[in-house]
Structure 1
Amino acid sequence: MNLTMRIFLALLAGLVVGALLPADIGKPLLPVSDAIGNLWLQALQMTIIPLIAGLLFSGIAQSVGQAGGGRTAGRALLAFFLLLVFSAGWSMIFVPLLLDWWPAPPAAAAAIVATSAGAQPVGEIKVDLGKWLLSMVPANIFDSLAKGDMLPVVTFISLFALAASRLDDDRRRQLVSLFDAVKEAMLVLVGWIFVIAPLGVFALAVSVGIKAGLGAFGLLGHYIAVLVAVQVGLIILVYPLAVLLGRVGPLAFARAVLPAQTVAVSTQSSIASLPAIFDGAERLGLPRATAQVVLPLAVSIFRITSPCANVAVVLYCGHLYGMEHSALAYLGALLAALVAAVSTGGLPGSITFLAACVPIANAMGVPIAVLPVLLAVELVPDVFRTLGNVTADLAVTAILSRDRSR
Structure 2
Amino acid sequence: MNTKKLYAIAVNPWVVIGSLALGSAFGLLLPMMAAKLDVIGDLYVNLLKMTTLPFMVSAVIFSLQRLFRDGGTSRLIVRVVAVILGASATVAIVGAIVLLTMRPGANISTATMHTFGAMVGSDGSGSNETVMSLYGTDTVPKTVGLTDMLKSMVPSNIFAALASGDALKALVFALLFGLAVGRVPERISVGLSQALETVYHACQKLMHWLSYPLPLILFCMSAAQLGKSGVGPLHAMLQFVIAFFVVAVLLLVLAATIIWKRSANSLASTLDALRAPFALALATRNSAACMPSMIESLVDRLGFARSRVELMVPLTVSLLRVGPMVYYVCATLFIAQLYGRHLGVVEVSTVLLASVLAGFASAGMTGLVTVSLIGMTCVYLSLPFEAAFILFLAVDPLCDMLRTLILVIGNTAAVSVICPRPLKL
Task: Please give the TM-score of this superposition, normalised by the length of structure 2.
Answer: 0.55
Query: What's the counterpart of residue 378 of structure 2?
Result: 361
TM-superposition CA deviations, 1:253-310 (whole Å, max 9, x none):
2111111111111111111111111110121110112102211112222221222111
TM-superposition CA deviations, 1:139-194 (whole Å, max 9, x none):
xxxxxxxxx9x899846667xx59x99xxxxxx877x9xxxxxxx9xxxxxxxxxx
Query: What's the counterpart of residue 82 of structure 1?
Result: 86
User: Cα distance, 1:319 vs. partner?
Assistant: 1.3
Unaligned runs of 5+ in 2: 1-26, 32-63, 122-138, 159-165, 167-228
Query: What's the counterpart of residue 262 of structure 1?
Result: 279
- In structure 1, give the amino acid aligned to 2:272: R
Asked if structure 2 preserves the Cα contact closer than 8 Å seen for 1:332 and 1:363, the reply is yes
Query: What's the counterpart of residue 331 of structure 2?
Result: 313
Which residue, out of 220, 226, 230, partners 2:243? 226
> What SS does structure 2 have at the residue aligned with 1:324?
coil
Say if 2:298 is the partner of 1:278: no
Which residue, out of 345, 349, 353, partners 1:331? 349
Which residue, out of 275, 283, 295, partners 2:313? 295
Query: What's the counterpart of residue 108 of structure 1?
Result: 112
Say if 2:392 is the partner of 1:374: yes
1:92-107 mapped onto 2 (5 Å cutoff): 92-99=96-103, 103-107=107-111
Q: 1:258 to 1:330 in 2, by over 3 A?
A: same
TM-superposition CA deviations, 1:315-344 (whole Å, max 9, x none):
111111111112121222122111111121
Q: 1:397 to 1:362 in 2, by over 3 A?
A: same
Give, in whole Å, the separation in 2 of the partners of 1:373 and 1:294: 36
Give, in whole Å, the separation in 1 of the partners of 2:119 and 2:145: 30
Asked if structure 2 preserves the Cα contact closer than 8 Å seen for 1:325 and 1:364, the reply is no
Q: 1:326 to 1:116 in 2, by over 3 A?
A: farther
Query: What's the counterpart of residue 402 of structure 2?
Result: 384
Asked if structure 2 preserves the Cα contact closer than 8 Å seen for 1:73 and 1:294, the reply is no
Q: 1:344 to 1:333 in 2, by over 3 A?
A: same
Query: What's the counterpart of residue 396 of structure 1?
Result: 414
Q: 1:110 to 1:89 in 2, by over 3 A?
A: farther
Give, in whole Å, the separation in 1 of the partners of 2:344 and 2:308: 41
Give, in whole Å, the separation in 2 of the partners of 1:113 and 1:238: 38
- In structure 1, give the amino acid aligned to 2:244: L
Q: 1:254 to 1:405 in 2, by over 3 A?
A: closer
Asked if structure 2 preserves the Cα contact closer than 8 Å seen for 1:264 and 1:273, the reply is yes
Asked if structure 2 preserves the Cα contact closer than 8 Å seen for 1:336 and 1:359, the reply is yes
User: Cα distance, 1:217 vs. partner?
Assistant: 5.9
Asked if structure 2 preserves the Cα contact closer than 8 Å seen for 1:105 and 1:218, the reply is no
Give, in whole Å, the separation in 2 of the partners of 1:74 and 1:254: 29
Say if 2:367 is the partner of 1:349: yes
Give, in whole Å, the separation in 2 of the partners of 1:334 and 1:323: 16
Q: 1:357 to 1:396 in 2, by over 3 A?
A: same
Moved more, 238-247 or 297-306: 238-247
Q: 1:173 to 1:373 in 2, by over 3 A?
A: closer
- In structure 2, give the amino acid aligned to 1:404: P
- In structure 1, give the amino acid aligned to 2:297: G
Identical counterparts, % of pairs: 18
User: Cα distance, 1:227 vs. partner?
Assistant: 2.2
Asked if structure 1 preserves the Cα contact closer than 8 Å seen for 2:92 and 2:329, the reply is yes
Asked if structure 1 preserves the Cα contact closer than 8 Å seen for 2:281 and 2:405, the reply is yes
Give, in whole Å, the separation in 2 of the partners of 1:245 and 1:291: 14
Give, in whole Å, the separation in 2 of the partners of 1:327 and 1:151: 25
Count of aligned residue pairs for this structure pair: 276
User: Cα distance, 1:383 vs. partner?
Assistant: 0.6
TM-superposition CA deviations, 1:71-91 (whole Å, max 9, x none):
324422331221011111111
- In structure 2, give the amino acid aligned to 1:232: V
> What SS does structure 1 have at the residue aligned with 2:288?
coil
Asked if structure 2 preserves the Cα contact closer than 8 Å seen for 1:242 and 1:248, the reply is no
> What SS does structure 1 have at the residue aligned with 2:237?
helix
Q: 1:173 to 1:344 in 2, by over 3 A?
A: closer
